[in-house]
Structure 1
């Protein structure tokens, strides 16, 4: 299988903020007033969020162009209502009120059933879809991809400042999001039946209300013939989101072409690796996907790119990925840049002012 066989798409969630930098409850109105772009604009669980989704992409140039266009269309619609979009994994400012649930029967049912989990897990992520030939292949891919999740989580960690303070985590969003009963790393599946048996048990237990609530860090899409990667914070820039998307595709291509057995990594250990990655982001240490030993994240990311280099070269993405990773290591990821702004005066509004568009 070649990288050209594997199309991909990227979804981004954003907060909608008012002129003071506080969360606005106008997300559904922003969507209503936006012009129809290439791609999709979607409502989210709360009225202070919006979501975009690209069309099918084949090159990093195409993905980047679409992401820039979608952000621009949505920002223009938000500006018409005196608002801006904020690409942060968690709201930097302290909020006095809980977010309002978007008027929608499914969302209202979720809020009633899951209570504070639904109302306080207020996060924005970036989801990458990669095409697969069939669901059996997707399940095999998920089992083999699991060790690479912590390293990739560091790339777009972008939620260090939340609720008015420095959380001590680079991706506080990941800690918040995994409170959902169906969220977190997927197990190492033995078969598609194994995957489906867990989903069925969750449905019978009421831990999910429908199949769209399977929130594993990597899951089979229910709507498209894709595997969906859901672990990442929303990226601070479209360039960083594109970098994540094509690097994931390169890893998928490499793994599907490999004959190596699944790594045999337990979920208990993988959760610990993801915790470390969400805490330290790009500026610290991360468990290495191959050994589990801690190493400087910059070294780990370099090894991840080297692992996927042949696939990235085949699709014309290798230089884009190497340059993007080098920039992130030199300038800091989203979380690092948030901390620099917050450290100046201790004002979370400075983070909003710099990141919002």
Structure 2
């Protein structure tokens, strides 16, 4: 697959909140009343959430234009109901009741089967789809990209404040999300059959109800010829979401051309992801090559350098370097949440900063 053929798409999940910043149960009606821009608007598991998905994108400008339009349409639809769109990985305020489940037969089955995990794991992520020529290539990519996930997680971490308090994590969403039995880092696969054997075992055990519930941080998409990266919090801004998508595309091209990486056990990778979710962009992160704790900004710089040739070939290198420079100066979403919260210890101030 040529670099020009490696298309991508971005999905974003958002909370819908009322005027005070508390979760609203209006997500479904917001989606149903929106005038869909290019891309798709979708219901989510709970009524407090909405989801958008771009169409197939080839350039950063194309993706950014679609994300801005989709966010604007959802925001306007929410405003007509006295609500706001909140791009945040976890709920910011203390809630007195659980979100209600969307009245969809599949979602109702999930809620009944998984109980409190489904009712209390209310999080919003950003999913990056990267085109692949076939599923065998996808499995090979998943195995090779695993060690790079902690570094990428630091870039868009956006859930430091949750339930009215500083969680001590940059991506508290990642900690919440991995309570699902099929979530977390994927293993090192030896083949497509290996991948499929695990999915089949999960289905037989009832750990997932269908193949769409394969929640690994990177997985094969069931409905599209893509590999889907699912580890990230929803980005605070569309620019940051596109930065993540473009960097992942460059990294995918480089990794597939670079050859196999040294083995990395899931036990060690989970520890690396925990550290990345805790400290984010402002702390230290295990380096993808050595595992040594390294300032996260330096690690991201090394990731960009590693993918530089692929990024240059698609005209994206300056876009990625400029975007990273802005994040290094202003901090990621979690850093900005924490800075705003520290002023008055007010989660409502963080809501005001983030809402659309």
Q: 1: distance between equivalents of 2:289 and 2:261?
A: 12
Q: 2: distance between equivalents of 1:353 and 1:261?
A: 46
Per-residue deviation at 1:219? 0.1
Deviation string 1:297-334 (CA, Å, 9 cap, x unpaired) is: 01000000000000001111110100110110111110
Aligned residue for 2:337? 338
Q: 1: distance between equivalents of 2:14 and 2:303?
A: 28
Would you say the 8 A contact 2:155–2:332 is kept in 1?
yes
Q: 4+ runs of 1 displaced by more than 6 Å?
A: none
1:12-51 pair list within 5 angstroms:
12-51=12-51
Q: 2: distance between equivalents of 1:156 and 1:94?
A: 23
Q: 2: distance between equivalents of 1:263 and 1:27?
A: 44
Secondary structure of the 2:51 match is strand
Aligned residue for 1:319? 318
Per-residue deviation at 1:3? 2.0
Aligned residue for 1:64? 64
Aligned residue for 2:148? 148
Deviation string 1:57-112 (CA, Å, 9 cap, x unpaired) is: 00001000100010011111111111110000001101001000011010011011
Would you say the 8 A contact 1:2–1:311 is kept in 2?
no
**Residue 290 of structure 1 pairs with residue 289 of structure 2:** yes
Aligned residue for 2:171? 171
Aligned residue for 2:136? 136
Q: 2: distance between equivalents of 1:239 and 1:321?
A: 10
Q: 2: distance between equivalents of 1:36 and 1:348?
A: 31
Aligned residues: CA RMSD: 0.6
Per-residue deviation at 1:240? 0.1
Give the TM-score of the pair, scaled to structure 2: 0.99
Q: 1: distance between equivalents of 2:57 and 2:257?
A: 21
Q: 1: distance between equivalents of 2:214 and 2:42?
A: 19
Per-residue deviation at 1:280? 0.1
Aligned residue for 1:181? 181
Per-residue deviation at 1:5? 1.7
Per-residue deviation at 1:37? 1.2
Q: 2: distance between equivalents of 1:22 and 1:180?
A: 25
Aligned residue for 1:110? 110
Would you say the 8 A contact 2:142–2:219 is kept in 1?
yes
**Residue 224 of structure 1 pairs with residue 234 of structure 2:** no
Q: 1: distance between equivalents of 2:53 and 2:36?
A: 12
Unaligned runs of 5+ residues in structure 2 are none
Secondary structure of the 1:55 match is coil
1:160-309 pair list within 5 angstroms:
160-258=160-258, 260-309=259-308
Secondary structure of the 2:127 match is strand
Secondary structure of the 1:232 match is strand
Aligned residue for 1:81? 81
Would you say the 8 A contact 1:181–1:207 is kept in 2?
yes
**Residue 349 of structure 1 pairs with residue 310 of structure 2:** no
Per-residue deviation at 1:2? 3.2
Q: 1: distance between equivalents of 2:2 and 2:338?
A: 40
Would you say the 8 A contact 1:247–1:305 is kept in 2?
yes
Secondary structure of the 1:227 match is strand
Secondary structure of the 1:257 match is helix
Secondary structure of the 2:182 match is coil
Q: 2: distance between equivalents of 1:247 and 1:190?
A: 26
Q: 1: distance between equivalents of 2:202 and 2:335?
A: 37
Per-residue deviation at 1:139? 0.1
Q: 2: distance between equivalents of 1:284 and 1:262?
A: 25
